[in-house]
A and B are shown apart, each in its own frame.
Chain A
Amino acid sequence: MTRTRTLLLWAAVLLPGISTAQMLDPSLLMKPLGEGGWPTYSGDYSGKRYSNLTQLNQSNVKNLTLAWTVRLPAGLDGRGGGRGGFGFGNATPTIVGGEAAESSGAFGGPPNIRASILEVNGVLYLSSPDNAWAVDARDGHILWHYFWKTKGGTHIGNRGLGMWGNWLYMETPDDYLICLDAKTGKERWHKETANFNQQYFSTMAPVVIGNHIITGTGNDLDEPGYVQSRDPETGDVQWTFYTVPMKKGDPGADTWGSIDGARHGAGNVWIPGSYDPETHLYIFGTGNPSPAYTNPPSRNGDNLFTCSIVAINVDTGKMAWYYQVNPHDTHDWDSTEAPILMDGAFNGKPRKMVLHADRNGYFYVLDRLTGEHLLTSKFSDTANWASGVNAKGQPTRILAKDSTVPGSLVSPNNGGATNWQPPSYSPDTGLMYVPTSDVYSMYYLTETDPRGAMGLGGKDEEVLASMGSYLRAIDYKTGKVVWAHRYPGFSGGVGNGMLTTAGKLLFAGDAGGNLVAYDAANGKILWHSRLGQVSNAPETYMLDEHQYVLIAAGDSLFAFRLY
């Protein structure tokens, strides 16, 4: 039975019971972006962040106007942030959960929204570490606020919520998956998804595919990465896929110096993957191997399946194929950046492909049915750590550009040529749009005992200077940068995520705190609004026959439309 038919059957079963407006009709998840709100991390499963909406286009975008804005309360009683509305905003209830005996509030403070925001039936659902909100998409008033009292964990960001029917799902820095009632914000249950004592922390947006809730983890202490699927009703584990070999004989075990090394090899998955409904493949990028910067004997080899694009069958959790983009990484360049699934011609033949721009400065095209490598190119002007590209399309690392005691001059810096900020692909232009940064650092080795380093330790990375931050547009057929827009100045600030539309527009947060609309074909600036900062990727959806553009700026949301 096809996935689509399965989902339609569910819809048939579930729809008679719908009485609230909150319910996410599962068939919306299967529609191209623009026809069904913004029900999942990238809007649709493809990761393209290309909306087929055209009400906003090159001729009228200059009239795009603020519809509403809101500052989000955070923490216990909303003390950490804005008051939740201007003027007549009513008091927002904060619903409190959490496993911590008490919360010091030390992890609180104003939220910084780095999440994708769900738009379902006129309600926005969003998150920051320990906080979730529902916001009325018509005027920005807050419907509820949920706060999780944390045990701790790295509070670096939260990539958003997942939704299934009436339920929302959030990961927390102290490794719980929480299920909330979308209508009220009340908690249904929470489940431990990773071991806090092993220093896991969780930032990923859960991805809902059929009756699977897919989660991922983060870790900076050599613990193995994994992707897990859970039941949306009970939270019980359906399957677990480790991204590194866990025992002798596992695939990839011979790419490590020892099984103990592999089991402490990281490869964490902290950005949601994309999904191909035709093949049931969930396709995602894996993080760097660990220890991140050193070469203990336990890491001898390519270190599969770290720094790879991996396709697993969502029903079974079994791997269908993998392609390692960066064998034996030594600079903490995760390959988790969102893979984009698209169809097009390649060398004159129709292909179903994956596009991926990596933190290491290289761009890759793969066949998404088989994982066959099609193309590698360098999009960073300054990346200097590889001597070329091997027969498999993998950059060949220069050993002398690992961290060294007297220092190695390397670009990219640790933050990478690109990072978590979501890219976009427009089928109108055939271009992939990527926020990029060309920075040089000195990488000093501080731990000369090969046994010694753990996690991100063993090095001191000292940034030297930025050679420029760019919005780059890459032609997937050639791998060439067709146009690049350099942000003025020398500050090294990086732009944020991307959105393209059938209105031939490219929206992006620039390095100066502006939301900007460009001509997707050539980068010509058509509209902008200065918000002070842009902290996530722009989104768009139709509401009351108006096309909205939504963006987060730290602790605030801004919604734009035409009047």
Chain B
Amino acid sequence: MLRKFRFGFTESVLVLSLAVALHMFAQAPPPAAPQAGARGAGRGRAARPPAFPDRPPADPAALERGKALYGVQCNFCHGSDARGGEGGPNLLRSDIVLNDSNGEKIAPVVQNGRVDAGMPKFDLTMAQISDIAAYIHSFKVGGYDISRMTPPGIVVGNAAAGEKYFAAHCGSCHSATGDLKGIASKLANDKQLQQTWLMPGGGRGRGPINIAPVTVTVTLPAGEKVNGRLIRIDDFIVTLGDADGGQRTFTRNGDTPKVELHDPVAAHRNLLPTYSDKDIHDVTAYLVTLK
């Protein structure tokens, strides 16, 4: 699951793989849905089933009854999404709920209450508690719930300040009326626009911006220069792709031969340490106006 993507691809593919590869070093699993395809593709086989399976769907009638009961009896303290509310804790991560099947572990708490924690007794039957349990168990249990990943708009910056920043720092390479004309219409959303202007071709949210591959110039001891697309480099070899689809590999020994990499997004990379978050948000606020 944590295989690293390091070589055997063009550098541009490596950049694409970067986000995926970097996500995989954490003990934490990567987000389920958005990345499953990418991982599967990278490993050349189907994605795994979820680590922790969802519960099978409940009887719809029981779910309806449970939802109605929950709304009346539980909602106020534990929240409409069962993630906690006025005084009541999050139920989805509660060990009682997680270890419950049909209400049998929830029932003693509901019927006896938890007086010390401020929870009263409820006069509910086992059948009613079973229905409530069915409703609580219908929520997805896990950090990544795609249904909750709908953030508010990310554009909060000052477009005028962004235009000024753009003129000072981006204007030597880019123009709002030239290469970036209509840029905001070409990208799927504001976040993709922000990610793309910060690092074209980087990250997961790649848009329709084509970035030239990293190229390399190898200067042989006799002075001959060989240029090509960078396929792979480490301390010991460098491999170039030529226009015909062929490859040439050179052994490296320290500084011999001389190897120069040409990073097409070097200017963007070098700017990263210089931005304040305000700069970023201002520039995005400006660029979203370039429809």
Interface residues of A (CB under 8 A from B): 104, 106-107, 109, 112, 114, 152-157, 173, 195-199, 201, 203, 218, 220-223, 260, 264, 268, 270, 287, 291-292, 332, 334, 336, 382, 384, 400, 404-409, 413-416, 419-420, 437, 439-440, 442, 444-449, 451-458, 460-467, 487-494, 510-514, 516, 525, 528, 530, 533, 535, 554
Contact = CB atoms under 8 A, between A and B. Distances in A.
Given A155-B51, A406-B155, A199 B233 contact: no
Given A414-B23, A415-B22, A462 B203 contact: yes
A446 B21 CA distance: 22
- Which 9 A-B pairs give the minimum distances between C-beta atoms? A512-B234, A455-B143, A457-B143, A415-B25, A493-B6, A456-B143, A463-B19, A491-B14, A446-B151
B156 A156 contact: no
Contacts of B154: 405-407, 444
Contacts of A218: 27
15 contacts: A173-B51, A220-B29, A264-B90, A287-B27, A334-B27, A405-B153, A407-B194, A407-B281, A420-B25, A444-B154, A448-B152, A452-B83, A462-B191, A464-B198, A493-B7
B28 A332 contact: yes
Interface residues of B, number: 87
B157 A491 contact: no
Nearest to A452: B83
B93 A223 contact: yes
A419 B92 CA distance: 30
B21 A493 contact: yes
Contact of B25 (A201, A384, A419, A514): A419
B247 interface: no
B269 interface: yes
A492 B18 contact: yes
A420 B27 CA distance: 8
Contacts of B45: 109
A535 to B, nearest CB: 8
A463 B202 contact: yes
Contacts of B4: 493-494, 533
A218 B194 CA distance: 34
B76 to A, nearest CB: 14
Given A152-B53, A465-B268, 11 more contacts: A152-B51, A199-B141, A264-B93, A334-B26, A406-B284, A407-B281, A409-B275, A445-B151, A458-B143, A460-B151, A467-B269
Nearest to B6: A493
Interface string B230-266: 1011111010000000000000000000010101010
Nearest to B236: A528
Contacts of A530: 234, 236
B108 to A, nearest CB: 17
Main secondary structure of the interface of B (DSSP, over half): loop
Contacts of A112: 1-3
Contacts of B259: 488
A447 B148 contact: yes
B144 interface: yes
B85 A416 contact: no
Contacts of A114: 2
A451 B79 contact: yes
A519 to B, nearest CB: 14
B26 A466 contact: no
A157 B1 contact: yes
B199 A464 contact: yes
Contacts of A454: 83, 90, 92-93, 142-143
A463 B203 contact: yes
A488 B84 CA distance: 49
